[in-house]
Structure 1
Amino acid sequence: MFWTADRIYSQGIEQAQQRIYEFFLETVRRQTPDEVLAVFKCLFINFNDQSNPEITAALDQILTAYNEKEFFYTLKRCCYILINNWTVSNNRVYIQSLIDVFKDSSIYKKPTSIKLRTLRIWLQFFIKSEDFKTLKLFTISLNPVSSLDHNWSNRFASYLLTDQYTNPTSSLEQRQAANLLAQEMKAKFQFNLAMYTARLSNHHSSQSKPNNPTSLSSNVLNLVTLMLTKNSVLNCQSQANNFLASIKELTYYDFKVRLLQYLDFSIADPEISETVQTKLHDDLFKLKAEHHDHLVNPYLILKTSKFLISQMTSSDHEHLTELFNILLHHTNPLNFVVLLLKLLLINDAVRSHLELRIALIIKYYSRYSESKCKSVIAFIDMLNIALAVYAGETRYNIVRMHTHETSISQEKDMHQDSQISKFDEKKYRIFSQVR
């Protein structure tokens, strides 16, 4: 092995970082949160932790190397070490105090020390970065009303965290913290939705209405009811089961043909249906065309599902596709939700890919006010409800309370925007239970 100057330099930085990580792991386990915050501030804000000269020297080594990227990584990982440990020890409230450290006015002062000046300039860059925005997501559950400037995208933070826990370049602590918070947010939404629908379907006029976890007003109950109606086109689970049973022993080419039939783009109006199918058909049949004569397998199903989701949302990780705009703005968003849900139900492994694409949509629209994003907000709310009903931890059941009445009628034209049918609260009840 040849030892170059670059390799020796790199190893020196890594060793300095490791000393800092081990120090904060030990400190957060032994000291109170207030004491930990004081140490964190002394090191990263003031660069003057005289009680821990070895750790100050380690940070000095990173500053001397003038490596902004490694400084950011070191700072982030230390933050997530604290967040993880405070979460485990039920001290999550101190996460807000950690964020508040970066509000210190001294960050914007110009010291005479060149190293301290460099440190504070980097801190200013960090505060304006996407990394810091992500860090602030961990305060939403602590104070959802006032956090992050009231942006409507806060309600969908579980999607925004997906990139953090699926990204292999994120530190282990960041992936763990992001995954835990995202799962908690999803579970909380599912619980609130179950409580809301159960209480609302059993609601009496003299009672105050329960809190609605979505922005869909009274349509929530109607939407859940429609999804639970067995003769509805939205009975996606049975359709997915039938589809999976029908593709056994099919070639990949025949699978694609059957897949387009299963997705049934006719749920939109005829013109939209033709446009969507035309845009998807040619590219779909070009995908892995060399495998057309092979038997379809889970890998090809996953690859195809990811491809279709990308075509309907974003195919380049940056811009939204034309198909997305068509499906969102020129038809009922529920039609769009059904297409995505059907793909998820035939292969649950596509979930993280779907969530990453939804996160991209949220980031794209978050620059606009809530009043300008009603369509996309309604779409994400509908998707969340669909995922809770079909792919969540809660089983929903609908019961007709008066047996002499006819069952919920299916609208003759399920292709119109009136898909969220009216629901007579006096005749039916929705019950939920853990699967």
Structure 2
Amino acid sequence: MVKSNLNFTWQELNQEKAILYEYFRQYLSNQSPTEVLDEFRCLFIEGRSKQLNAREALEKIVFSQQGQEKFDYIINHCCHIIINYWSNKPELQEFIPRLIDIFNSVNPQINYYDRRKKRLLKLVCDFKNTEQYLKLTRLVELLSSSQTIDLSNNKNVGDLAKRYFYLYKDLLLGDEHSQEEKKMIREIRKNNQKCFEFQLSQHIIYRARLVQIARARQISQGAGRIIRRVNNPTLLSEKDLKIAIKQYMGKINQEGTIWQSAQKFLTENKFRRSYREYHRDLYRYLINSISPKQEDYQFANKLKQIFNQIKSPSNSPELTDVAMLSTCRQLLKYLVAATYKQPEHYQFIELVKCLGTVQTITLLIKIVLICPQAKPDLEKRFAILFTHYQSYKLTEVPWLVKSLEHLLVAFSIYFGKIDLSIAKII
């Protein structure tokens, strides 16, 4: 056994973890998935390996202070090496969930006499309580072959992570992930977004055809039966989906659609000479066309209070791109959620309650339409909400699920790559 080395240098640690990474890369290319899983379990759970160099490298890591501090990162990266390799081979993807099964089989109550196994058990159990492990399980769920999502009463909000591709970056990735891992998540997001947008467009076309037939008074003659039914890909009711599409694509005031209103605001930016003008006009732009569902809710006053807390990032009175982006980011922070540790999202709950979901999402979309660079911030704010409520039952927070679904539709309309113009007739 390798002796404990509390003076292990960071350079030595990098050398030992590189040995582990390369070992798994080579093992993946030469062995079957079952053998890879067995070797992963043997090495990280039992502390033994067919390869002496790999076992010694792991021992040096777990018996050093620096190695223990970085163990979560190291085992997580080894998992990603395996997942990345299998995810690129359709015939091997079914083995990915079995990697998580190894962690699920770990019994923290076992009392090992072997010092190596005892240390490994503690480190692995600690890893299972990290945000990294949570992201790993989400990724595995995302890569599972099943495309359907069971929405039984016992399901939690966290079980819906696969649906919301706009949350993938914040829910699945961290600074510690490699460029290869980030690229994989981007590809998954791209494919799932494309799939959802196609399903949404097909459903909208289906609904539009039904409307056309009804208008032609042919529905009673059975004409509607020859149209192939396309299910609603959202979790919204048909009524709510229709309301959402009408709001996001239709005219909502004299200035036209939300998109047209945003373009008008952007065009007028060239005539604004100071941040003060921008600050004033942005407030007017946001309150325009927003009508509270509850008549006694003073939305304009509430928003004014938020604007009073927002300042330019510099002392310069000039209007700059940096100042505009900072303002929009601060708005999203106040309107949705603050941080993972302290979400402070009472404002968002109040907005949903008093404005309604569709107008709340409209308010947020109006911000990112005039400042697309702030869209990642909006996604991050919803990832904070999602993470905060991930262990809640779906029936406990229907307002959150509805908001996530509305954002799914709104993003598809404004930032997607499909033509949904036919939706105007449904």
TM, length-normalised to structure 2: 0.83
Match of 1:385 among 409, 412, 417: 409
Aligned partner letter, 2:115: I
Residues 1:65 and 2:49 are matched in the alignment: no
Q: Secondary structure at the match of 1:110?
A: coil
Q: How big is the shift at 1:390?
A: 1.1
Q: Does 1:221 align with 2:228?
A: no
Shift of 1:56: 0.8
Cα 1:182–1:15 change in 2 (3 A) is same
Matched with 1:153 is 158
Shift of 1:253: 1.5
What residue number does 1:432 align with?
none
Provide the rounded CA distance (Å) in 2 between the counterparts of 1:206 and 1:217.
23
Aligned to 2:269: 247
Q: Which residue of 1 aligns with 2:47?
A: 47
Q: Is the contact made by 1:165 and 1:175 (CA closer than 8 Å) also made in structure 2?
A: no
User: Which amino acid letter does the alignment assign opposite residue 179 of structure 1?
Assistant: R
Q: Which amino acid aligns with 2:313?
A: K
Any stretches of 5+ residues in structure 1 without a counterpart? 400-407, 409-427, 430-435
Deviates more, 1:114-123 or 1:143-152: 143-152
Q: How many pairs align?
A: 394
Unaligned runs of 5+ in 2: 211-223
- Alpha-carbon distance in 1 for matches of 2:258, 2:277: 21
Give the Cα separation in 2 of the matches to 1:314 and 1:374. Answer: 17
Contact kept, 8 Å, 1:194 with 1:394, in 2: the verdict is yes
Shift of 1:135: 1.1
Quick one: distance in 2 between partners of 1:106 and 1:282? 54
**Superposed CA offset, 1:274-332 (max 9, x none):** 33222222112x333612x21x2322221111111001012344222342122122221
Mapped to 2, the partners of 1:272 and 1:186 lie a distance apart of: 37
Percent of residue pairs identical: 21
2:219 aligns with none
Alpha-carbon shift at residue 71 of structure 1 (Å):
1.2
Cα drift, residue 123 of structure 1: 1.6
SS in 1 for 2:420: strand
TM-score of the pair, normalised by structure 1: 0.82
Query: Does 1:236 pair with 2:262?
Result: no
Superposed counterparts of 1:3-402, under 5 Å: 9-49=9-49, 51-66=50-65, 67-90=67-90, 91-105=92-106, 108-141=109-142, 142=144, 143=146, 145=149, 150-157=155-162, 158-163=165-170, 167-203=174-210, 204=224, 209-219=229-239, 220-230=241-251, 235-250=257-272, 251-264=274-287, 267-269=290-292, 271-284=297-310, 286-288=311-313, 290-291=315-316, 293-294=317-318, 296-317=319-340, 318-398=342-422
Structure 2 counterpart of 1:413: none
Q: CA deviation at 1:391?
A: 1.1
What amino acid is aligned across from residue 238 of structure 2 in structure 1? S
Aligned to 1:240, what secondary structure does the other structure show? helix
Cα gap change, 1:13 to 1:36, in 2 (>3 Å): same
How much has 1:245 moved relative to structure 2? 0.7
SS in 2 for 1:202: helix
CA 273–302 in structure 1, closer or farther in 2 if over 3 Å, else same: same
AA in 2 matched with 1:58:
A
Deviations 1:65-100 (A, max 9, x none): 154331111100011111112222233222112111
Does structure 2 retain, via aligned residues, the 8 Å contact 1:47–1:116? yes
Residue 111 of structure 1 deviates from its aligned partner by 2.3
- Further displaced range: 268-277 or 311-320: 268-277
Distance of aligned partners of 1:44 and 1:176 in 2 relative to their CA distance in 1, 3 Å threshold: farther
Question: 1:272–1:7: structure 2 CA closer, same or farther, 3 Å change rule?
Answer: farther
Question: In the TM superposition, what whole-angstrom CA distance separates every residue of 1:140-186 from its partner, at most 9, and x where no partner exists?
Answer: 34245469973233324435532256643334444334333333333
- Aligned AA for 1:214? T
**1:353, CA displacement in angstroms?**
1.1
* Residues 313 and 326 in structure 2, CA contact (< 8 A), matched pair in contact too: no
1:88-122 per-position Cα deviation (integer Å, ceiling 9, x unaligned) = 22332221121112233566532221111110122
Residues of 2 paired with 1:35 and 1:164: CA distance?
30
Residues 25, 107 of structure 1: alpha-carbon distance in 2 compared, 3 angstrom cutoff: farther
- Residue identity in the other structure for 1:75: I
- Distance in 2, Cα, partners of 1:343 & 1:6: 52
Q: 1:300 to 1:216 in 2, by over 3 A?
A: same
Instruction: Tell which deviates more after alignment, 244-253 or 63-72.
Output: 63-72
What is the SS of the residue equivalent to 1:77? Answer: helix
Please state how far the C-alpha of 1:392 moved relative to its aligned partner.
1.0
The 1:273–1:394 alpha-carbon spacing in structure 2 relative to 1, beyond 3 Å, is: same
**Alignment CA distance shift 1:109-1:177 (3 Å):** farther
Alpha-carbon distance, 1:249 to partner: 4.3
Q: Report if the CA contact (8 A) 1:164-1:170 is conserved.
A: no
Cα distance in 1 for residues equivalent to 2:354 and 2:25:
52
Secondary structure of the structure 1 residue equivalent to 2:111: coil
User: Which AA in structure 1 matches 2:59?
Assistant: D
CA contact (8 A) 1:201 1:221 kept: no
Residues 129 and 211 of structure 1, relative CA distance in 2, 3 Å threshold: farther
